[in-house]
Amino acid sequence: MPTAVSAPGKVLLAGGYLVLDRAYTGLVFGLSARIHVLISELETSDGVELSEIVVKSPQFRDAQWNYGYHLTGDDGGVSVAQLQSVSTATLSRNPFIETALGYALTYISSITSTSIKPAAVTILADNDYYSQPSSTTSIHSSKFHFSDFGVRLKDAHKTGLGSSAALVTAFTGAILSHYLPISQFSLETEEGRAKLHNLAQAAHCAAQGKVGSGFDVAAAVYGTCVYRRFSPSILSHLDAPGSAGFSTRVQKVALNTSKNWNTEISKGGVTIPKGMSLVMCDVDCGSQTVSMVKKVLEWRKADVECSKALCDELQIRNDTLASTLSSGSEEQLKVAFEKIREKIREMGEKTGVPIEPKEQTALLDAVSGVEGVIGGVVPGAGGYDAVVLLVRDDKKTLGKVNDFLVTWRAEGKGNVQLLDAKGELEGARKEDGKLYQFWE
C-alpha cells in the first residue's frame, strides 16, 4: 500500500493584507478540496538501485518529473537534480516539488542515518483547483473521482484555492511519513504538525522566491484557524540546498521552539456555524495579487497613522465575525459581513486597489438577497478572483444560489461558478492508501 497524505486548500475569509503584519491576524478556512500525495517504493530491475524519485501528476499532460538525489559534503544536506525522463522531451521544472523534495530529504538525512530508497510519487488534486474543460474524463478509485484535465499544468486555469501550498504540505507530509518511523514523525501529534508546518513554510517560500504571510500553508497543515504569521527573518538565512551547513539549518528550522518560530494558530478561535456552510464561487477573471499587495504596503508606509486606524478597525470587525461565527445569530452574522465589507471598500478607495471592485459589490449585494444566503465577502487579496459565501447548509439554498448564478451569467454580468469546495475544519491528514487502488 502506498503512504498517502492529503492537505486542504484555503480561503482567507477575513484579514487579507492585515495578515501580512504580525500586529493583525487572518481568519483562514481549510477547504474540502484537497491535494493528495501517494508514495510507494520504486521497483528496480535486477537489483540495480539508482537514487531516483519519480513524481507524476497524472491529471495533466507531460507532468512527470524524475529526480536524482545524493548527500552532499560540508553538511549541505541532500541535493536533488532533475533528470531527463524521455530524451525527446524538454525538461519542464516544477519548483514546488523540487524544493519540497530537497528540504524534506535533507531534514530526513539530518536526523537518521538510514539510506533513502528510490520511490514513486503520485499527485492527485481535487477537481475544484482548476476550471473544468467542457469534456473531461474522470479517473476513479473506490472513493475519489479525479478529472483528467487533458492539458499541461501551465495551461490549466487555476481557481485560486492555493494549489501550491496544499501540494507542498501534502508532499512534505507524505515524504516524512514514508521515510521516517512514527516515533520520529507523525501527523497525529502537535509536534509532528509543527514540524510539517515549519518545513512546508520554508520550502514554499523558497520555491515562490518570496516570503508571504504563509496563511495558505498554515491552512494546509492545521485547517481552519485564526492565524498570526511568523517573522519573515526566521527564513532569511536558509540559503540553497547543497550550501555548506544547509542540513543543520533545515534541522533547526523544523524544530518548534519559541526561539525558532512565533507563528500563532488558534483552532478554537473560529468555526463554521452548525447548519451553515462556507461555499466558494469562482469568478472567471483573475487578479494579480503581487501588484495589489505592493500597492497596499506602499499606502501603509506613506500614510502610517490613517492606515493603522483603518486596519485596527478592520481587525476589530474581523474579530467580531470570528466570535459571531462561534456563537451568533444569522442577523448578527449578516451585520458582521456588511461591516467588514464597508472597511474593505474604504481600503480600496484609499489605496486605489480594487479589493472589492464594483462588479463584486454588485454580485455580493445581489446574492446576499437570495433566501438562505447569510453573507459573503471577496476573500484574500480581493479583486476579481472569487467570492465566498456563508449559506444555510441545505439543498434548497444551494439550488437557489445556483439558479441565481445561472441568471447572472445569462445576463452577461460575469462568469461566476459555484464550486463544490466547502469550508472544512480539518488540516493535513494521513489517508488510507487502499482507497487509491485504481492508481497503483
Ligand X SMILES: C[C@@](O)(CCOP(=O)(O)OP(=O)(O)O)CC(=O)O
Ligand Y SMILES: Nc1ncnc2c1ncn2[C@@H]1O[C@H](COP(=O)(O)OP(=O)(O)O)[C@@H](O)[C@H]1O
165: its cell numbers:
501550498
12 binds, among ligand Y, ligand X, none (CB under 5 to 8 A by kind): ligand X
Among 79, 127, 163, 169, binds ligand Y (CB under 6 A): 163
Q: Which range of residues in 155-163, 226-234, 242-250, 274-282 is near ligand Y by CB under 6 A?
A: 155-163
Residues 6+ apart with CB under 8 A from 305: none
By residue count, the chain amounts to 440
Query: Cβ of residue 112: shortest distance to ligand X, in angstroms?
Result: 34
Confirm or reject binding of residue 172 to ligand Y (CB under 6 A): no
**Cell reading at 71:** 548527500
Cα–Cα distance between 343 and 324 in angstroms, integer?
18
Cell of 200: 512546508
Nearer to ligand X, 242 or 380 (CB): 380
Rule CB under 6 A: choose which of 61, 158, 409, 413 binds ligand Y.
158
Sole binder of ligand Y in the list 32, 94, 247, 360 (CB under 6 A):
94
Buried b (16+ CB within 10 A) or exposed e, 62-97: ebbbbbebebbeebbbbbbebeeeeeeeeeeebebb
Interacting positions 109-128 with ligand Y (CB under 6 A) = 123, 125
Q: Which residues bind ligand X (CB under 6 A)?
A: 12, 16-17, 19-20, 160, 162, 212-213, 215, 289, 293, 380-381
Which residue sits closest to ligand X, CB atoms considered? 380
Map 196-214 to HEC letters. HHHHHHHHHHHHHCCCCCC
Among 99, 110, 164, 213, contact with ligand Y (rule: CB under 6 A): 164
The position carrying cell 509543527 is 194
Q: Does 380 bind ligand Y (CB under 6 A)?
A: no
- Specify the residue, 123 or 390, whose C-beta has the smaller distance to ligand Y: 123
**Least distance to ligand Y, CB of residue 297, Å:** 19
Nearer to ligand X, 16 or 192 (CB): 16
HSE-CB of 51 using CA atoms within 13 angstroms: 12
- Give yes or no for a contact between 201 and 168, defined as CB atoms under 8 angstroms apart: no
Which residues sit opposite 266 in a β-bridge?
Answer: 226
Taking the C-alpha atoms of residue 32 and residue 126, their distance in angstroms, rounded to an integer, is: 9
Asked whether the beta carbons of 398 and 255 are under 8 A apart, the reply is: no
**Minimum separation from the CB atom of position 101 to ligand X (A):** 22
Nearest distance in Å: CB 156, ligand Y: 8
Provide the binding-site residues for ligand Y, judged by CB under 6 A: 57, 94, 96, 123, 125, 153, 158, 162-165, 167
